[in-house]
Structure 1
Amino acid sequence: MDPMEYVIGVDLGTSAVKVLLVDRNGRVKADCSESYPLYHDRSGYSEQNPEDWVGKTLAALKKLIQKSGVRPDAVKGLSFSGQMHGLVLLDEQARPLRRAILWNDTRTSEECREIEAVIGKDSLLAICKNRALEGFTLPKLLWVKKHEPDLYKRARVFLLPKDYVRFRLTGQIAMDYSDAAGTLLLDIAKKVWSSDLLEKLGLDSHICPPLVESEAFVGTIRPEVAEETGLSTTTKVFAGGADNACGAVGAGVLSEGKTMCSIGTSGVVLSYESTGERVFSGEVHYFNHAKPGAYYLMGVTLAAGYSLDWFRSTFDGDISFGELVKQAVGVPVGARGLLFTPYLVGERTPHADGDIRGSFIGIDASHTKWEFARAVIEGITFSLHESIEILKQSGKSVESVVSIGGGAKSGEWLQIQADVFDAAVVKLKNEQGPGMGAAMIAACGCGWFDSLEECAAAFVQVGQVIQPRPESVEQYRQLFAVYRDVYENTRALSRQLKEFRK
């Protein structure tokens, strides 16, 4: 094998695009990122300009090629990871009709209730495996149809964020199954757009793009893009996947028994699932994997790392993240009787409650800011553990958890995860998140490996394994029981306080 061949993983996030240049041994040769703005024109609105994604992706790719100094024809393949659920509507000329409505836009509560009323909650779970939530794409489509009918009539097709950028690079329109699963329009088990949902909700079937596997070859780099970025027109482009699916690929979560915990702004617990036939009651998300024929279960904590960042910036903005965690772990398990629930922006798993808000319970005059910091870290981890408990109750074995994201950068926090989860926690040697998953999809698409599992064996390496401490496990088991009672006992109070938050 010629080691001087490369693939590129493009990770289109909510705040920035990150690009990775990876060689045949899984080593990162170079990386670059470019940020773009978010627009919040009204409360609950969250939008981005699709042209910002395209412009910044092209700029990042150009810098990547210049920084690495590799020959354009040495880049054999490119693939994508992308923020899920965002609605991009294109007209007959394949131009965006409006800004994209993002995953964290919450304007569609009325449309969610409409979907449940027309389709029925049980039927929706049977087809899509998920409840109607504001983040998904279908409610956004219905909102545009209702509130911007002239735009909807002009719509030729809808895409998700990474699919639009990929279209601009290749000229080909498609959507992979892992991202389509997050639209609430895909029949998850059959892997087709649901004609039943489209018909009953009065949506045109032509608006849905062609469906492909994540490893599918979807075109080559257009000449004008090659000229602008320094890439070659011979570079093959593969469909890619949803950010969480690609994160799972990059963490090697590709077989039964594999579970991942990702702590970024939000937090995700994700577990591999081999079948699309099971029906859950909606406590966890159930999506198609980037691995062909596979699925995954996922629980979400909306304000994971965000809660710690909020605490730091609000109460001690000068301290670094690392120092904050170091001081917090000097406090005993249980933060001397102080509990925190990380519901700063509502919660997703297991409660799906947009009105609930966070709490500190058990404040004592002896508590310092370090007890509060410890309680925040433990509360975030308890919230993630709720998802792990759901997985266990469904029959999943969770003996070890691969931890990625900001929460994996602290050895102390990794230990807390191991103790709360009562499972070995694995830290990777060179964790690059969803961008590495996208690069691995490109590597398989290029034929470097016969499967994503084979690629993961070469690319994904364990750096450290943290074992749970029995004494702390028992203490956290008792504290977790108290933590779970806080939601039910504060839910009504949060609703009463809602009008004062305006």
Structure 2
Amino acid sequence: MKYVIGVDLGTSAVKVLLMNKQGEVCKEISKSYPLIQLRSGFSEQNPVDWVDKTTEALRELVEGFVGDVADIEGISFSGQMHGLVLLGQKGDVLRNAILWNDTRTTEQCQQIYEYVGEERLLEITKNQALEGFTLPKLLWVKQHEPEIYQQAAVFLLPKDYVRYVMTGKIQSDYSDAAGTLLLDVAKKRWSGEMCALVGVDEALCPPLVESSECVGEITADFSGQTGLAKTTKVFAGGADNACGAIGSGILSEGKTLCSIGTSGVVLSYEEKGDRDFGGKVHYFNHGEENAFYTMGVTLSAGHSLSWFKETFANGEGFDMLLDGLDDVPIGANGLLFTPYLLGERTPYADAVIRGSFIGMDSSHKRIDFARAVLEGITFSLNESIDIFRKSGKVIDTVISIGGGARNETWLQMQADVFNATIVKLSSEQGPAVGAAMLAAYGSGWYGSLQACAEVFTSVDKTYEPIAANVEKYLRLFDVYKKVYVQTKELNEELKIFRNN
């Protein structure tokens, strides 16, 4: 039996999956690492922690492996997008990585618009200048830490750094590079024009490869640390959302994904790079060669529920927190939540806005608040679906993965709010499966990623929208959309009172 490994480098932990040719998960190991938040709006991690925990997880996986370790033919990666890792001339890490959910770069985003112009930016990169992207972080370091910037030889995305340590080779794939604001998305190349306009040396950009491309084998040193065979092929891998799409079979026109992790995304497959959404949603290169996807993002999706549990039910499990959820009617007895705990991305691109509970009274119980949190997260995701539909896309079936696929009531809620059939997969490991599929396809197990998906994915259950619930949620969604408009100015005024 032959095997592949999928490594998913997330924001809070790395997950390592061992999968066989039947698409079965044979082993799963997860190792967590800390987030570094030096002040409000800052979010960093030490790249060495990623390497240490990935190495530890792989070593544990190999130690429990029964058989010839050389039968593990390939390994590939999924990784959190946008994070900035700066390396010096000797490949040394120059500072902590600045992560996707870091919001310190509002000034640099404005500078990008001044240097490039909004229209030209969208023509080249297909995306707005947002705090989460890599280029604003690069400009922030250039402005605030010039001595570090001057030492930089190349920048990498998070998973690319881990792969570099494993192979000694520096590359980035198109799906991750698309989230930097330096890639010409349609032409699949670094934009010399963008680099020139913003004053970034194009030499800082790493060589580009396809997600399924074999970029080498693991080094003798990494083989010794993990027990993996030195012949293990290493494949480039992709951005977490691209890999989540691959692992869920989002590989043809009309397929849509809802993934609820720390952040939440609604992602839809695109065959071409020429659609125009006016920057309202993201437009990225897929992990499948010569394909694309559009995507809306809720910055605090699962994070909102985790925050609520840790703040008001610390020590309890999610099952206990959500016990009785079905007994609370739609609308949480007049309580509404907006999940803007870290600002918002789609459709507002606002780093200052913060969350709200609207409609509280003394009759509300904790479970009412819990339902309001779930409904608010789902409404935020529905804003992306609304944009897709208004552009002419048909969204009638959505594959749901992540935390939102682990609760029956939440799955039905998604069906009702989205007014679409929700599909739950039999075995859902999200981006890690997509990474494993890239290794399987790259190893020649299948003739295409779609053929691989037919083996690696299957449907467990579907949820149909209930007409009466759809009608209620339509009315409530209209109320939800008003909250941002009516609290924007208030949050601007409250900003000076936050911890800085």
Q: Which 5+ residue runs of structure 1 have no aligned equivalent?
A: none
Residues 35-77 of structure 1: CA deviation (Å, up to 9, x unaligned): 2222222332222222221121111111011122232110011
Partner of 1:19: 16
- How far 1:128 moved relative to its partner? 0.3
**Does residue 1:350 correspond to 2:330, yes or no?**
no
- How far 1:149 moved relative to its partner? 2.0
Partner of 2:170: 173
**Does residue 1:290 correspond to 2:287, yes or no?**
yes
Match for 1:33 among 26, 30, 33?
30
Rounded Cα–Cα distance in structure 2 between residues aligned with 1:236 and 1:89: 26
Rounded Cα–Cα distance in structure 2 between residues aligned with 1:17 and 1:335: 35
Partner of 1:247: 244
Q: 1:38 and 1:419, CA in 2 relative to 1: closer, same or farther beyond 3 A?
A: same
- Greater alpha carbon shift after TM alignment, 52-61 vs 407-416: 52-61
Match for 1:444 among 441, 444, 458?
441
Structure 2 counterparts to residues 121-136 of structure 1, below 5 A? 121-136=118-133
Partner of 1:477: 474
- How far 1:405 moved relative to its partner? 0.5
Partner of 2:148: 151
Q: Any conservation in 2 of the 1:325–1:410 contact (CA below 8 Å)?
A: no
Rounded Cα–Cα distance in structure 1 between residues aligned with 2:355 and 2:100: 22
Q: Report sequence identity in percent.
A: 61
Q: Any conservation in 2 of the 1:399–1:424 contact (CA below 8 Å)?
A: yes
Rounded Cα–Cα distance in structure 2 between residues aligned with 1:363 and 1:47: 35
Rounded Cα–Cα distance in structure 2 between residues aligned with 1:45 and 1:332: 38
Q: Any conservation in 2 of the 1:78–1:442 contact (CA below 8 Å)?
A: yes
Residues 269-300 of structure 1: CA deviation (Å, up to 9, x unaligned): 11111111122222211110001011111111
Match for 2:3 among 2, 6, 15?
6
Rounded Cα–Cα distance in structure 1 between residues aligned with 2:86 and 2:36: 17
Q: Any conservation in 1 of the 2:131–2:351 contact (CA below 8 Å)?
A: no
- Greater alpha carbon shift after TM alignment, 369-378 vs 251-260: 369-378
Rounded Cα–Cα distance in structure 2 between residues aligned with 1:211 and 1:194: 12
Amino acid paired to 2:78: S
Rounded Cα–Cα distance in structure 2 between residues aligned with 1:399 and 1:103: 30
**Does residue 1:218 correspond to 2:212, yes or no?**
no
Amino acid paired to 1:247: G
Partner of 2:423: 426
Matched residue SS, 1:104: coil
Amino acid paired to 2:352: D
Amino acid paired to 1:481: D
- Greater alpha carbon shift after TM alignment, 354-363 vs 86-95: 354-363
Partner of 1:50: 47
Q: RMSD between aligned alpha carbons?
A: 1.3
Matched residue SS, 2:259: strand
**Does residue 1:491 correspond to 2:488, yes or no?**
yes
Rounded Cα–Cα distance in structure 1 between residues aligned with 2:51 and 2:212: 22
Partner of 1:330: 327
How many residues in Structure 1 have an aligned counterpart in Structure 2?
499
Partner of 2:187: 190
- How far 1:361 moved relative to its partner? 2.0
Question: What TM-score do you get using the length of structure 1 for normalisation?
Answer: 0.97
Rounded Cα–Cα distance in structure 2 between residues aligned with 1:323 and 1:281: 43
Matched residue SS, 2:394: coil
Q: Any conservation in 2 of the 1:29–1:68 contact (CA below 8 Å)?
A: no
Rounded Cα–Cα distance in structure 2 between residues aligned with 1:121 and 1:489: 26
Rounded Cα–Cα distance in structure 1 between residues aligned with 2:125 and 2:102: 21
Question: What TM-score do you get using the length of structure 2 for normalisation?
Answer: 0.97
Q: Any conservation in 2 of the 1:325–1:412 contact (CA below 8 Å)?
A: no
Partner of 1:80: 77
Q: 1:302 and 1:177, CA in 2 relative to 1: closer, same or farther beyond 3 A?
A: same
Residues 362-414 of structure 1: CA deviation (Å, up to 9, x unaligned): 22333222222221111111111111111111111111111111110001110
- Greater alpha carbon shift after TM alignment, 297-306 vs 188-197: 297-306
- How far 1:318 moved relative to its partner? 4.7
Matched residue SS, 1:271: strand
Matched residue SS, 1:326: coil
Q: Any conservation in 1 of the 2:106–2:351 contact (CA below 8 Å)?
A: no
Q: Which 5+ residue runs of structure 2 have no aligned equivalent?
A: none
Q: Any conservation in 1 of the 2:101–2:299 contact (CA below 8 Å)?
A: no
Residues 66-121 of structure 1: CA deviation (Å, up to 9, x unaligned): 12223211001110001111111112211112221111222211111111101001
Amino acid paired to 1:38: L
Partner of 2:161: 164
Structure 2 counterparts to residues 192-211 of structure 1, below 5 A? 192-211=189-208
